[in-house]
Amino acid sequence: MPTQVQPSRNQDFAGLTVLVIDDERSVRMGMRVLLEELGCQFVEACSIEEATQQALSARPDVVLADMRLRNGETGIAAISSIVAAIGQTPSVLISGDTAPDRLQEANRAGITLLHKPVSLPTLQAELGRILDDKGPRHEPTRS
């Protein structure tokens, strides 16, 4: 009998805004399908500059960033830029590179690393973990 990923206590992802940063359009589109299946709002970027602009306008609840972007950019640098722009935001690195130094690099940065391809159960479990750690979401107060 196959093992199943245990569902998180918090499975309500409806309206959760997730910014996906990846230089490959096909990867972004694949993540879009998974995230929309979970009820998330999808925002995308392919570079640090675009990710920072998207973060400023969309105010994502979660950032999913490819470990290696084009032109020497990294997901860690993109996440750092977003944090500088909008404050601490739960973030996850995603990489197709399984070399131990990738895991060490993510660990040094204090960011969870998932390996590509990311399955729906893995994504669901990670988003659930983030929401459980973050606590219930609150609507922003209006002045």
Distance, CA of 124 to CA of 140 (rounded, Å): 24
Superfamily of domain 17-134: Response regulator (3.40.50.2300)
DSSP annotation of 84: H
The reported pTM is 0.85
Q: What is the pLDDT of residues 81-133, one digit of tens each?
A: 999 999 999 999 999 988 888 889 899 999 999 999 999 999 999 999 998 88
pLDDT tens, 42-80?
999 999 999 999 999 999 999 999 999 999 999 999 999
What type of residue is 71? Answer: N
Report which of residues 34 and 3 the model is more confident about. 34
pLDDT(10) > 70:
no
Spatial distance between the Cα atoms of 106 and 94, rounded to a whole number of angstroms: 10
Over 80: is that where the pLDDT of 137 sits?
no
- Residue 19 buriedness (CB in 10 A; 0-12 / 13-18 / 19+): buried
| Spans of all domains in the chain | 17-134
